Structure formats: C-alpha cells, structure tokens
Structure 1
Amino acid sequence: MAAAIQRKLETALKPSLLKVTDESHLHAGHSGNPSGDPNAETHFRVEVVSEAFAGKPLVQRHRLVYGVLAEELNTGVHALALKTKTPAEIAQ
C-alpha cells in the first residue's frame, strides 16, 4: 500500500519532496486496524511539497490528494494525515 501511495502521488503531483510514513503500528487494535497487525498498512502520514498546490487552499489540496488515492482509501487505508505545501512555502 505504501508503495502504491508513493507511486501515485509521484505521478500525479510531481513533488519536490514526498514522505510516506506507515503509522499502522501506532494504531494496532484501534478502529481501522482491529486485527492489531502492526504491518496492516491502514494508517499513513504523508508530507508532499508540490507546485500543484500553488494557489489552492488547504481543503482543495487535501481533496486533490484524496482524489489521487481514492482507490487506496476505499480498499484498506483508514487514516491519512496530510501535510501539503508548495515549494515557495517551504522556502520561507
């Protein structure tokens, strides 16, 4: 799942920075990962820096990422924590 997230975001957003962190082990036994499997790939933290976010408010940026990852969100990803910035925003 992490590899699919990485690949899809790279293709769609051409990011200058992309970090995908699997945090499923922190949610073992909780909602969305009731099996308790620390390798369940259900909870992710994603940091994306992309020019594709320029001029877009936070909600639109997140919707863009959710649209790219719609299949993953419908087939196993329970939680997606997002940090979305433009290159100009991280240069400040």
Structure 2
Amino acid sequence: MNPETIRQMIEAGLPGAVAEVAGDDGVHFEARVIFTGFAGKLPLARHRMVYATLGDKMGGEIHALSLKTQTPDEAGAR
C-alpha cells in the first residue's frame, strides 16, 4: 500500500474531500482530510467516515492510520 493509493481511495469515497497522506514503511500512514461533510460531526464519526472509504484495507494492508479531519472552515482558520 502507498500514500497515493490511500489518498485516491479517501477522495473517491468522500467526493469533494481533499486528502494529504504520508507514510514511508508501507503499513503506517498519517492523513489530513478536509471535507465539508465533516461539519457538525464529532471526531470519532469523522474518522469512521474515512475508515469506511478504505474498507478491509484497514487492519490488513494498512496497519495504522493517524487522522486529522477538518472542515474547510476549520482548515482555513489555521
């Protein structure tokens, strides 16, 4: 598994999302995902939305994924 594939899966599963994914060992990754659909959702719900885009890759080909999830407004405030 590689960061680009994960990015594509997240963005395909959350249309309109922008994802940045890093990781260099093939199993541990970190991602920043910006998506309007996160508005009004708690962090756990946001993470579940991202995990759902990766399906059975989580816990298999992707051993660990550290997430930072933000709405566009939250991302712009930084």
Are the equivalent residues in 2 in contact too, given 1:23–1:45 (CA < 8 A)?
Answer: no
Instruction: Tell me the CA shift for residue 75 of structure 1.
Output: 2.6
Query: The residue matched to 2:61 in structure 1 has which SS?
Result: coil
Aligned length: 75
**Cα deviations across residues 37-60 of structure 1 (Å, max 9, x unaligned)?**
xxxx10000011111211111000
Query: The residue matched to 1:88 in structure 2 has which SS?
Result: helix
| Counterpart position of 1:59 | 44
Cα distance in structure 1, aligned partners of 2:45 and 2:70: 12
**Letter in structure 2 aligned against 1:85:** Q
Choose 1 or 2 for highest CA Rg.
1
| Counterpart position of 2:9 | 8
Whether 1:89 and 2:74 are equivalent positions in the alignment is yes
Instruction: Tell me the CA shift for residue 82 of structure 1.
Output: 0.2
Query: The residue matched to 1:69 in structure 2 has which SS?
Result: helix
| Selected match of 1:78 from 47, 55, 63 | 63
Instruction: Tell me the CA shift for residue 23 of structure 1.
Output: 4.1
So what's the TM-score if we normalise by structure 2?
0.84
Segments of structure 1 that go 5 or more residues without pairing to the other structure are: 25-40
So what's the TM-score if we normalise by structure 1?
0.72
RMSD: 1.4
**Would you identify which runs of 4 or more consecutive aligned residues in structure 1 move more than 4 Å?**
none
The alignment-based identity, stated in percent, is 36
Segments of structure 2 that go 5 or more residues without pairing to the other structure are: none
